[in-house]
Structure 1
Amino acid sequence: MPDFSLLLDLDSDALQTLAHAYSSYAAYLDTGNAEDIHTIACCYMKAAAYEMLLNQSNARSLFALAAARFTQISDPYGLIAGICSYQDCPDLSITTETTPDIQFYQLLNGAFTGATVDTTAWQEPVGRLQIPFRLYADTLTDTIDQEAAQLPKVWKPLLTRMHTRPRLLSKDTARWRKLEGTITPIEPETVATCITLLRVAERQGIASDVLTSLVQAQQDNAYIAMKIGLLLR
């Protein structure tokens, strides 16, 4: 499995330590040592976010565990975990909440599964990265009926925007490299978005091997999340 720590200038040992710490704590709590399912789910999710930079197979398993626990408590973030583990996502369309974040998760879930989703959000910033809903929606729409060669051009604005936060955080070299504080190098929702874009492209008849070659040819670090998305299959 590819190790993306070098490309991101991260200490792989620090990544591994954090992934192990969060996954071990989640597993401990998940064996009857706590009733706080949300904490368990978040720990699995955090572990997966670190692990996906090192071992995508292990990360997928952790995302699946997170999805199961989030779903257990009807937490809409389970949609993100579900996409990252390439699982069918729970249907949260019956939720009484219609916050922009939930509509964002439902937008990705709908595009991932091929379902139609009605949303009212548009310019609102959504998700952990607070990117306007419209940019996600427009990029998903613009992916439809595109030739494979045009996809990098279609995806680049959103991928660049999603990579802005890690690019800025990495300027504090020492803290970034050792992942000090609460740094998450690449947010799971970024990878979930990339997986969804790939799924939409495949649904248009673009072969998986063509998409893989296309993405692997991109040198910009903004495409790392897309490469991880391919490897989480």
Structure 2
Amino acid sequence: MGDIHFIASQTEVAQTALTRLTARYGQVPPDRASVIVALGGDGLMLSTLHLMTGLPVYGMNRGTYGFLMNDYAEDDLPERITAAEVTLTNPLSMVAGIPGGGECHALAINEVSLLRAGAQAAKLRVSVNGRVRMPELVADGVLLSTPAGSTAYNYSAHGPILPMGSEVLALTAIAAFRPRRWRGAILPKTALVRFDVLEPEKRPVMADADSRGVERVEWVEIRSEPGIAHSILFDPGHGMEERLMREQFV
């Protein structure tokens, strides 16, 4: 596993790590690499997975939290990569309808969220597989999360942590006003989820797929994309399943 392409965030600590590691292990172009090593935080990991679809990514934490990253160490890197556990995750595919009849398309590894874009709460109609399940949800927003993203924004919004391989998605309300006690739902991975924005002029809504936003949307459809699988590498004993389990007991 010697054909490594290193990528790093722009922070000083990440750039220093990039300089030291490329001097020690070399640097090959992405199209000749067999693995990507990402130096930074979870944001860099997500952007790297989006850019380098098809290549496994081994992250080392040179950021803040680093849930998707391994501990940083300069020694024995090829051996660590060879021994790493592989986690496969399918992204969510988002199609968002915008004023004027256009559409925006995006993929999300963690979650797709709809958020109010004005002073008033969003008013949404929620449908699953073509059937209206909630005629009116009034909230600051709502999000649909993959298992890989369930410990991120979803967990902060009091959504459930989903085991990897569970074949489900988490639908979670963000500060629901009506129905006040509705927290969300767990949906099969095969579900097609649609949100229609009610009163879009009075209550504008934006959509966000892994921090790539669409300023105003009229409707959004989301489904899992089984044709794309991202590969994330973790040190043995520190894989995604263990991390998700550990998060529930802190």
- TM-score class, shorter-chain normalisation, is under 0.3
Higher percent of residues as strand: 2
Q: Structure 1-normalised TM-score?
A: 0.26
The structure that is helix-richer by fraction is 1
